[in-house]
Structure 1
């Protein structure tokens, strides 16, 4: 429900808007590997996950998500559908598929495959960015940037495959932190072309559809495995919850992003897109992944007296994380904190209270309360929009 206000007084006007673009067929094919990756993560949170399960899967999700964001930005800046780019994207799919297959044991026996898969994606990213270093480019990218950011980290991740299994997660955390420090220190320097806002918003929206789709699939397969009236009732309530999230996201979050990023100057637009589409949507999407796992468990355990505590945290914590990420996006867009608090405080607090008190509630009641929160969130946003709250955005 994050929606921005009008630009601040004296803010620089945006440059000419680039021509409209949509996702290409290779990008849509590329996204299919993330269907598998998201399914692996959701499977790891199914049942009664503990705190370590949440932490490990959250950590394993970031490199894959970050590579998706990097490749999406490269496709956004360089509208090329030639054989070289297609081959690069196909190789990226293979490397990411290896990472997805390694997820269940990535902190153990399959850690080397996970690390080498991510190293391979860095080489793909280098191939996508290297043509932008040519002197014939209007704003050529200095070669040291892709060499350090892509090749340098490919070498380091390859080396991490040889680290003892007990050390790998710590080594990967250091490498991710170093990569983020390098990226943040650049502040958008070296970006050769304007960001195509519509294309970027569409690509992120398509990824949100992927994780929502995993949630629907989890509900359907759990209902198939537990063919009872109780399971059917929980499945219907789960679908209402997911439908409310879809409705509010694509009515408000996407509109806000197009308006605010589209109004910004080239470098400002890139940094804003990086923060919102890259960093903050990592939490938006993981929240839905956790919710997918929790809904599957809730359907399967519909006949029980209560849900396992891990499933309650997947449900309530996932929805709370989703709302918290949108509150952070709204702040990044410049919305006043007091206006955000009106919907963010109940949006975060109510699911957390349900997670804490859920052991005393039947599974159907847990899902009903979460669905009611999501529907109430949507109704509030729609009423605010109809009252003219969004008029200043146009």
Structure 2
């Protein structure tokens, strides 16, 4: 979903997110706030490692449940109760985030185990579908039930071995998914619905970034803080503009025009794996921007804060570059915008000791705006060439 791979919508009508899905997303507002808060101030390498580790399981469950809702369009009481229970489990995981790497690890593990059982409940009816859409029973039993039981058992494992168990279980889920290659998926994905759902998650993390800017002003009610907050908002606005004008449109076109098997693989890689890095990058930026507002009166940002902010922007562009390559763009066309998009934030981070907080945010905002303008120029040229 590269912001620089502009395309026009393919015009295919698609269903939209239902009220239950939108209600379900609310728990991720709390999750995003908890995770982003853990990177406020001056995070170290351990803090970043814990952040990325704790973010993946809920993200992975969200994308699994989203695909389930996409394939099984059902608004019955059974599905509603399952999804509400999943919300409760994810809320428990969110509450455990501040100490999930120490005293609350058991709650985090049990919450995730509960979501695997929800996934089993959603997929089990598909084991009774008529061929060729029938799902083999061993797949939900291994991918959902066995995984859930092992996650529940991990609650009794003391740290740090508990985290090694989690890593092994997540890796096993990845292996099961990658080896399946779409076999046993009952029907074609509704690509428009999937792109919309992923876009809504991006809106959630962008919203957390805006909320962080607003609440951080409580601790720094000064003109400098206001300047940094305005620059930070401009940065987020540029990311929103480029993502939804070009990135999500390109994704819907590429997924919608692909065959069923290729559409599944593209959706798995782009929506499932690569958007983890897109959304994680925005949450890092949210924490860095909030800290920049709070420390606007300092000579420069703390090292951890600037890497959360600038490193987050570099990761955001890097993830989009890989997405563009996955969609078949040539390396040379991607490098034109990806190299400066990654290099400039890294240079800002390296030189941050010589940059006031407002200047560091200004440089990153300028990069995001130039990125957007380049995308618009490229899009206009393509439309002109197509019309000719």
Query: Same fold per TM (> 0.5)?
Result: yes
Q: Confirm or deny: 8 A CA contact 2:235 2:365 kept in the other structure.
A: yes
Q: Distance in 2 between matches of 1:17 and 1:76?
A: 19
Q: Does 1:92 find its partner at 2:86?
A: yes
Q: Distance in 1 between matches of 2:11 and 2:351?
A: 50
3-state SS in 2 of match to 1:387:
helix
Q: Distance in 1 between matches of 2:162 and 2:339?
A: 37
Q: Distance in 1 between matches of 2:363 and 2:279?
A: 21
3-state SS in 2 of match to 1:344:
helix
Q: Confirm or deny: 8 A CA contact 2:235 2:368 kept in the other structure.
A: yes
Q: Distance in 1 between matches of 2:385 and 2:174?
A: 37
Q: Confirm or deny: 8 A CA contact 2:5 2:246 kept in the other structure.
A: no
Q: Unpaired runs of 5+ in structure 1?
A: 7-15
| Equivalent residue number for residue 62 of structure 2 | 68
Q: Does 1:355 find its partner at 2:349?
A: yes
Q: Confirm or deny: 8 A CA contact 2:70 2:190 kept in the other structure.
A: yes
Q: Unpaired runs of 5+ in structure 2?
A: none
Q: Distance in 2 between matches of 1:227 and 1:305?
A: 17
Q: Pick from 240, 258, 282 the counterpart of residue 246 of structure 1.
A: 240
| Equivalent residue number for residue 318 of structure 1 | 312
Q: Distance in 1 between matches of 2:272 and 2:144?
A: 17
Q: Does 1:176 find its partner at 2:170?
A: yes
| Equivalent residue number for residue 136 of structure 2 | 142
Q: Does 1:223 find its partner at 2:223?
A: no
Give the CA deviation at 1:137. 6.4
Q: Does 1:263 find its partner at 2:232?
A: no
Q: Confirm or deny: 8 A CA contact 1:2 1:329 kept in the other structure.
A: no
Aligned length: 384
Give the CA deviation at 1:109. 0.6
Give the CA deviation at 1:5. 9.3
Q: Distance in 2 between matches of 1:78 and 1:277?
A: 18
Give the CA deviation at 1:372. 0.2
| Equivalent residue number for residue 107 of structure 1 | 101
3-state SS in 1 of match to 2:351:
helix
Q: Distance in 2 between matches of 1:206 and 1:72?
A: 11
Q: Which moved more, 1:329-338 or 1:154-163?
A: 154-163
| Equivalent residue number for residue 153 of structure 1 | 147
Give the CA deviation at 1:225. 2.3
Q: TM-score, normalised by structure 1?
A: 0.95
Q: Confirm or deny: 8 A CA contact 2:213 2:229 kept in the other structure.
A: yes
**What is the alpha-carbon root mean square deviation over aligned residues?**
1.7
Give the CA deviation at 1:388. 1.6
Q: Confirm or deny: 8 A CA contact 1:188 1:270 kept in the other structure.
A: yes
Q: Distance in 2 between matches of 1:191 and 1:26?
A: 23
